[in-house]
């Protein structure tokens, strides 16, 4: 009996924790979006100032980028600046999964 394999790739999703007035956050989002032509992904932007728990967790680190493949656990990829090599590695691994 032949098995059918799904050809759908797991959805890669990023969460960017930042602030509305943060130029580093804008820069990271722009750098991340520049990869969208090569890799399919979605991005949520969370303003840490909207939640005291997020301020306590990320206050001095913003922007902070987390990535998640499909229903997997989110992992921190980088903060302050987009680490393009780590981000590409994360996206490539999702592509081959």
Beta bridge partners of 43: 14
> For position 1, what pLDDT does the model report?
46
Which 3 state secondary structure label does DSSP give 56? helix
Q: How confident is the model at residue 71 (pLDDT cuts 50, 70, 90)?
A: confident
Which 3 state secondary structure label does DSSP give 78? strand
- Going from N- to C-terminal start, the domains of the chain cover 12-96
Beta bridge partners of 42: 13
When pLDDT is averaged across residues 39-49 and rounded to a whole number, the result is 95
CATH of domain 12-96: 3.40.30.10
User: pTM of the prediction?
Assistant: 0.87
Angle, CA of 81, 76 and 9, to the nearest 5°:
105
When pLDDT is averaged across residues 26-40 and rounded to a whole number, the result is 95
Could you tell me which residues come within 8 angstroms of residue 57 by beta carbon, excluding any fewer than 6 positions away? 48
CA distance 79 to 1: 48
């Amino acid at each position: 009996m032949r098995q059918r394999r799904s050809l759908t790739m797991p959805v890669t999703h990023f969460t960017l924790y930042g602030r509305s007035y943060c130029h580093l956050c804008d820069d990271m989002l722009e750098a991340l979006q520049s990869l969208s032509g090569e890799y399919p992904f979605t991005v949520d932007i969370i303003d840490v100032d909207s939640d005291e728990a997020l301020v306590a967790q990320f206050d001095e680190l913003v922007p902070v980028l987390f990535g998640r493949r499909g229903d997997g656990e989110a992992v921190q990829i980088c903060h302050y600046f987009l680490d393009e090599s780590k981000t590409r590695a994360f996206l490539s691994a999702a592509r081959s999964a």
